[in-house]
Each structure stands twice: as C-alpha cells, then as structure tokens.
Amino acid sequence: MNPEVMASDVMTPDVTVTVIVHNDAERLPRAVESVRRQTHAAVEIIISDDHSTDETPYVARRLAAEDPRIRHLRLPQNSGGCSAPRNRALEIARAPYVMFLDSDDELTDNAVELLLAAHREREIDFAMGAVERVREDSGRRRRWMPHLVAERRTVLGIDSEPRLLFEHLATSKMYARAFLDRHDLRFPEGIHYEDQLFTTQAYCLAKEFTIIPEPVYRWHIAPYAATDAASISNQRHKLDNVHDRVHVQRLIDDFLAESGHGALREDKDYKFLKHDFRMYAGDLPYRDEDWLASFADIMLPYLETLSPTAYARLPRTDRVVLQLIRERRFPEAQLAARGLGRAVAPRQVTPDTEGNVYWGDTVPTTDWARRELDVTDLDLDTRPFRSAQFRHEITELTRGPGASIDLTVRTYDPGLRLPVGPHRASLLLTPGRRRLTTPFRLSPVRPGIFEGQVHLDLTSAPVPHHGFEGVRHPLLRIDHQGQTHTAVLLAPLSFPPLTAHINYHTGTAPHRLTIEPEGRGPGRLQLRWQPVGVTARLVRPVVRHMARPRVRRAARLLRSALR
C-alpha cells in the first residue's frame, strides 16, 4: 500500500475511482488494491456493488474498514449491467475527476498520476491511455488497439480522428466531472454494451481530449471462463447478446444524426463491421443452423442500413463471410469464417467469362454479390509461393499406440499452384525451443486437391527436460521446387479429446498430453502439455524463477565477476 494518506487527502480527493462489482468477491481485492497503491494517493475509491449475493458485501466492508479512502455503495436490487452501479457512484463522487474500473481488472500503478497530469497541463474534457490485455490462462500481455495510442497528443474533436471510435472502452479514460455534468452524460441503463454508446457520446461532445501512450488499464481476459462467469463480450453465443449489440448500434446511429455528427457514420459503420460483427464471425463455425438463422434474422436488417463504402474498406475475407450470411448460405459462411485472419483459401472458386474469380462453386447473380464474393484480388494463382493460399483440413483422426495419432490431411489448392503429382510435406510442432518435424507425402486426388496420411508420435516431441506447460497447434509445411510454404492445419470442429501420459526415457519430466479441437477461432488441432509428478511440483517453479529477466541478469553479472 502507498504511504499513509493524510486526512486532508481523504476529505478532498483529486480523483474518484469507481470499482463496479457483482458476485466477484475473489477478484475484488485485486482491483481495489490496484487503486490503493496508486502513485497519486489523493483518490476516493467507491466500491459500487450491484446487489451481490455472494461474499462481495463482506469483502467490500472489510476493504472499506482498512482504508478511509474507500466507500462502499450497495444497490438495493441487481440492475443486470454496468451502467446503474457506475451512475449511482457518480451521484456521490466527491472528486473533480472520475474513472471507472471493473472488479476483474486493474489500474496500472501510475494510471491516476499520468491521466491527472494530462488534465492539469491544459483544460480538456477527458484523458485516455493505453490498455494492456492480460490473458488469465497464459499470462500473455498485449496492447489493445496500440496504433491508436502510440503517440501523445491532444485531439481537437473526434471529427479530426474518427478512427478513435475503435477505442470504445470507458475504463481507459479519466473524465472531468464538469464535462459529464455539463452534458448530463451518464451510462444508459437497462442495456449491455453501454460503453460503446457512452464513449461515442463522450468523443462527440468533447471539445478537446488528450491521449497518452503509457498503459493505464489492465484488462484481464479469461477465454475459458465458465459460461455463467464469462464477461458480456464473451457471451456471444447468446442471441440476446447479438440483439443488445445491434440495439446499441442503432442508438449510436440516432445520436450521431441528432448531434450533428452524421459525417462520422461511415467510420462508425466500418468499426461495427471490422470489430463487432467480426467477433461473431469468428464464432460462426461453432454455431448450429437454428442459431445461424436467428442470428441472421437479428443482424441482416441492420446490415442493410450500413454504408456501402464501409463494406468496401474491409479485407476481402471479411466481405465474403458477410455476403454469405446475407445470402443465408450458412455452411459456406462457416467455411469462410475458419479462414478469417489466417490466410486460409476457399475450398473452391469459380471464374466467369471475364476472368474474375468468385468464392464457391457458382458465379453470383447480382451486382452486389459479385462485388462482395469476387476473390480475384487474393491472387490465388499468382502470388509468391511462400505467401500462397492453401487450405489444409484434417478429415480423419484416430488414436495410435501410446501417445500417437494418425491423421488424414486434405489440402485444397484453388489457385492450382501445385502441379498434379506427389508433394513433400511435413507437420511442424514446437513444444519448447526445438521443433519436431514429421514428414509425409501429399498425393493428388484431382486437380487442386491433395491428400496424405501422417503418423504423429508425440513421445518424440523435444520437450525441455524441466517440462513444458502450454498449448501448441501443429503447422503444415509444403516443399516445392526449393521453396517452402507453412500454414495452419484445421481440425474437425468436434471430436472426443484424447489424453495420454508420457514418460520419457531421457530424464525429461513426465507429462499429461491432451489432443483436442481448438474450440474457437479457425479450429486448429490443439495439443496441451501439462507436467506431472515431482518435476511439476518442485523443479518447474525453480526454473520459472530462474527464467525471470532480473535473475538472468544477476546470473550473467555473477559469471562475469567470477571470470
């Protein structure tokens, strides 16, 4: 915790940070502690509890008893969203600047100091910083929308930088309370995705706002959270979720028109297609036909209202998925969605008499469909071999002896880059720093389609002696005339997970290995290693400690001194 806060700081806080919470007693202390240890200590912390039914009220009262800066606000009934607890906290906030924090996330240690300094440099309506996304399963950290916050600057109105609409988080910003009150700007209650409407309104109403490149918010991502514990954005399997997102977009459209910001509509439509729709598109392979039909019923009327120029700005693969949904060609949309962001080719393309090439087995019949399904610009038949587009799919997977599997792999080559005949290929797998290469042969089935069988013995994978804990997805490499091409390997979307225990003869730690479908995104073959036994309990913690940068530097200095 910070040095003891003076009574005057408690009475006159510079910043109020509202921590909203509902049934999250376990993570609430972490969020609150990230505010307590701020380098700028004159903060008021309001824990706004949306009528939790677990131990959250007890935890909140305990935290408030420990620090006079903390106040506990409990809503009389659950609102079901983020807006009401934020709005109720705003009613009692005492500071001239306000921030918002979710109970499963954290502020960086100097977030308040950095954002408050931006406000004190010049009169602005809000300041915003970078967001760091932290995966709970792997600990991996990555900046959210880094290109938008790469340089420090003050923006004189959103019209000068409409691309900022992509950064729609309310939690990465510190707002001047006077700005919020002047425009009666509050979070819309009774709907989800309230951040998007609130932030769009803030962007449009602000005369000036400052962007700083330093991280101010840590957004914790739990991709494998249980359904009932998943965040709203991770509940895309619920059709109510789709409805809520579309409803908010319509509210944003109405606000843009009414506030005189209609010129932003194309950029806002592009953001919806590139970000919001794209999130659902990546999940399409895992939805059944009834869900897809209902999804289309909700989404299609809104898609018809969007700007044609927004569609034209999208990557070609995104446009294909959108058009297939619009035509309710759901199985093909699911095939196309597995290639989003992965340079995966279609299984089949069809040329017209003018040399244009289209997704699928027919030439589209309308001008709009021809424009959206035209994949000529993918250069399937002419791009350099290293960046050529193929589609590799596992069509059969069976368990072999021990920790091995037998795969039948089918390769689609719609650009006819590979001549008819056998081709050398390999599966590549790297659980650690060294690679396992398993060669096999792809034989022609007919022009543009090849097939091969692979026996993958996972006991020979070069796992480090101290063990490897993590997930890997095999890649497929093709060797052709001295050139190589490497791409993802798609697995069946569902099959019973296979589990094996591996005891190595080389002294390497024993492992539990799980072979499973990826379960999200393109649906690659997924291999999950977990060390077991004494090594997992004793050796790996020591190795992980030794792998820390400070320990490595200390070891290098010691070796240098000894020399």
Question: Taking the CB of residue 555, how many other CB atoms lie within 10 A of it?
Answer: 11
**What whole-number distance in Å separates Cα of residue 319 and Cα of residue 277?**
11
Q: Give dist(CA 231, CA 168) in Å, integer.
A: 16
Nearest-CA neighbor of 525 among 352, 409, 360? Answer: 409
CA angle 550, 551, 553 (to 5 degrees): 65
Radius of gyration of the chain (CA): 27
Domains of the chain: 7-234 (3.90.550.10), 239-378 (no CATH), 386-532 (2.60.40)
How would DSSP label each residue in 5-28? PPHHHHHS-SEEEEEEESS-TTTH
* Predicted local confidence at residue 563, as pLDDT: 41
CA dihedral 289, 294, 295, 298 (to 10 degrees): 160
Helix (H, G, I), strand (E, B) or coil at 61: helix
Q: For residue 468, what are its two tokens?
A: 């490897």
Q: Is 393 helix (H, G, I), strand (E, B) or coil?
A: strand
User: Which residues have C-beta within 8 Å of that of residue 558, sequence separation ≥ 6?
Assistant: none
* 457: CB partners within 8 A, 6+ apart: 400, 402, 403, 404, 438
Cα–Cα–Cα angle for 512, 513, 515, nearest 5°? 150
In this structure, what are the phi and psi dihedrals at residue 286, rounded to the nearest 5 degrees? Answer: -100, 10
Q: What is 136-156 written as a DSSP string? A: TTT--EEEESGGGSSS-EEES
The phi and psi torsions of 248 (rounded to 5 degrees) equal -65, -40
Using a 10 angstrom Cβ sphere, with 0-12 exposed, 13-18 middle and 19 or more buried, the burial of residue 510 is middle
pLDDT (tens, 9 = 90+) of the chain, 563 residues, equals 333 333 334 468 999 999 999 999 999 999 999 999 999 999 999 999 999 999 999 999 999 999 999 999 999 999 989 999 999 999 999 999 999 999 999 999 999 999 999 999 999 999 999 999 998 877 789 999 999 999 999 999 999 999 999 999 999 999 999 999 999 999 999 888 889 999 999 999 999 999 999 999 999 987 655 444 445 455 778 899 999 999 999 999 999 999 999 999 999 999 999 999 999 999 999 999 999 999 999 999 999 999 999 999 999 999 999 999 999 999 999 999 999 989 999 999 999 999 999 999 999 999 999 999 999 999 999 999 999 999 999 999 999 998 999 999 999 999 999 999 999 999 999 998 889 999 999 999 999 999 999 999 999 888 888 888 989 999 999 999 999 999 999 999 999 999 999 887 767 788 999 999 998 889 999 999 999 887 565 554 555 555 444 544 554 454 444 44
Q: Provide the CA 343 distance to its chain's centre, in angstroms.
A: 18
* CA distance linking residue 386 with residue 398, whole number of Å: 31
Q: Tokens 């290469």 identify what position? A: 437
Q: Token pair for residue 489? A: 């390997």
Amino acid 99 reads M
d(CA 8, CA 561): 51
- Give the pLDDT confidence score for residue 229 in this predicted structure: 46
Q: How far apart are CA 259 and CA 158, in angstroms?
A: 13
**Which has the closest alpha carbon to 85: 98, 106, 95, 100?**
100
- In the chain, the amino acid numbered 505 is H
How many angstroms separate the CA atoms of 62 and 64, rounded?
5
Q: Report the alpha-carbon distance of residue 244 to residue 252 in Å, rounded.
A: 12
What is the reported pTM? 0.87
Residue with tokens 């997992």: 536
- Give me the pLDDT at residue 109, please: 97
508, 510, 514, 520 alpha-carbon torsion, rounded to 10°: -60
For residue 230, what pLDDT is reported?
Answer: 42
Q: How far apart are CA 293 and CA 333, in angstroms?
A: 12
- The pLDDT value recorded for residue 433 is 86
Residue 2 DSSP SS3: coil
Per the structure block, which two tokens stand in for 80? 């079901």
Q: Which residues pair with 99 in a beta bridge?
A: 17
Among the listed residues 480, 265, 292, the one whose alpha carbon sits nearest the alpha carbon of residue 390: 480
